[in-house]
């Protein structure tokens, strides 16, 4: 919000000149505000959201012009996709949970990259990793046992092969996080297995550390797919193929792996968040996706 508001290239003061309208919204803050004795159910959340939309519609005539089709909001909570589908379903929804089986609509909704802001002042710090020819680990994963996919991953590959470093949760202290990064920097492939929902920050982390992402998350729509060819630098493996994971990775020719790894360095710039935005960075890419979906909707 701050970066948009401070950039004259994106914000106009005359609403008649606007192509899109941003709706300030936080699914997490809404839940925290209403999680009181009198507001306990999802229905209460939806009703509160309806009142919010009704207020916007009464106060600003631009909502009624398109029924909200030229409005957009951002929501990264798992359940935002579910309880916005009715009251904000006509909007462009920028969602982390880009699950087409749960109602994510390609061509209208936008897949938001899930990532931590590493360092706004020095975003390039610690990017990259060991040269691809010297990475000793074939595949790496570490994380909590959320959902049904990750337990299956550990069942087949935990302590099975020396070049498959597949773990449960690692310590989240300074030493644990440093060890996690070193595993990524030393691995050829980083397993990005879904948790409770389809999205995981490991996808962007893999790109940061130039470890080819292996996305195991059926129904997941990756961010910026409208301009990026994800299959050129990432692998998509069906959940049912987890038992064959090592064989699939070993069957990839060295030349293909090298090219994919090199392409990670090219796309890396699109996933970096800067305190002062630069062309093609994460801030610009997200807004481009929103604009692009709006262009698709107004085509005759």
Asked if 51 and 141 sit in the same domain, the reply is no
Give me the count of residues in the chain: 300
pLDDT digits (tens, 9 = 90+) for 147-170: 999 999 999 999 999 999 999 999
Instruction: Of 167, 176, 114, 159, give the one whose Cα is nearest residue 141.
Output: 167
Asked if 90 and 173 sit in the same domain, the reply is no
Cβ 211 vs Cβ 190: under 8 Å: yes
pLDDT digits (tens, 9 = 90+) for 98-145: 999 999 999 999 999 998 877 767 888 889 999 999 999 999 999 999
Question: Which residues are CB-neighbours of 93 under 8 A, at least 6 positions away?
Answer: 72, 73, 75, 80, 81, 84, 104, 108, 109, 110
Q: What is the pLDDT of residue 177?
A: 93
Asked if 290 and 265 sit in the same domain, the reply is no
Q: Tell me the backbone φ, ψ of residue 273, rounded to 5 degrees.
A: -100, 130
Q: Containing domain of residue 97, as a range?
A: 9-112+276-297
Q: Is the pTM of this model over 0.85?
A: yes
d(CA 39, CA 32): 10
Looking at residue 119, the DSSP 8-state letter turns out to be -
When divided into structural domains, the chain yields a total of 2
Domain assignment present for 54:
yes
What is the pLDDT confidence band of residue 300, given thresholds at 50, 70 and 90?
very low
Asked if 286 and 247 sit in the same domain, the reply is no
End-to-end CA distance of the chain: 31
Asked if 55 and 151 sit in the same domain, the reply is no
Q: What is the pLDDT of residue 169?
A: 96
Asked if 177 and 217 sit in the same domain, the reply is yes
Dihedral angle, C-alpha 255, 258, 263, 266, nearest 10 °? -140
In this structure, the strands spanning 110-111 and 92-95 are parallel
Asked if 82 and 202 sit in the same domain, the reply is no
d(CA 19, CA 292): 11
CATH classification of the domain holding 221: 3.40.50.2000
Asked if 157 and 103 sit in the same domain, the reply is no
pLDDT digits (tens, 9 = 90+) for 224-252: 999 999 999 999 999 999 999 999 999 99
Asked if 255 and 143 sit in the same domain, the reply is yes
pLDDT digits (tens, 9 = 90+) for 46-102: 888 889 899 999 998 899 888 899 999 999 888 889 888 888 999 999 999 999 999
What is the pLDDT confidence band of residue 29, given thresholds at 50, 70 and 90?
confident
């Amino acid at each position: 919000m701050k970066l948009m508001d401070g950039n004259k290239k994106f914000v106009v003061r005359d609403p008649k000149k606007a192509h899109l309208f941003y709706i300030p919204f936080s699914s997490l803050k809404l839940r925290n505000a209403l999680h009181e004795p009198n507001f306990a159910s999802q229905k209460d959340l939806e009703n509160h959201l309806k009142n919010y939309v009704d207020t916007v519609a009464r106060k600003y005539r631009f909502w009624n012009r398109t029924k909200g089709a030229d409005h957009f909001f951002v929501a990264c909570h798992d359940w935002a996709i579910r309880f916005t589908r009715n009251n904000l379903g006509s909007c462009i929804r920028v969602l982390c949970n880009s699950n087409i089986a749960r109602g994510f609509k390609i061509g209208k909704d936008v897949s938001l990259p899930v990532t931590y802001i590493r360092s706004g002042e020095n975003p390039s710090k610690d990017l990259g990793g060991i040269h691809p020819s010297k990475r000793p680990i074939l595949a790496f994963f570490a994380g909590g046992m959320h959902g049904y996919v990750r337990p299956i991953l550990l069942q087949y590959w935990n302590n099975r092969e020396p070049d498959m470093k597949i773990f449960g949760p690692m310590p989240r202290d300074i030493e644990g996080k440093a060890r996690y990064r070193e595993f990524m920097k030393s691995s050829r492939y980083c397993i990005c297995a879904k948790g409770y929902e389809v999205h995981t920050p490991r996808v962007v982390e893999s790109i940061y550390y130039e470890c080819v992402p292996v996305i195991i998350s059926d129904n997941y729509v990756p961010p910026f797919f409208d301009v990026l060819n994800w299959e050129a630098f990432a692998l998509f493996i069906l959940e049912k193929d987890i038992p064959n994971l090592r064989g699939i990775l070993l069957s990839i020719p060295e030349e293909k792996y090298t090219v994919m790894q090199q392409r990670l360095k090219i796309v890396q710039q699109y996933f970096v968040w800067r305190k002062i935005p630069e062309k093609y960075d994460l801030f610009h890419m997200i807004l481009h996706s929103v604009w692009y979906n709006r262009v698709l909707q107004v085509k005759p």
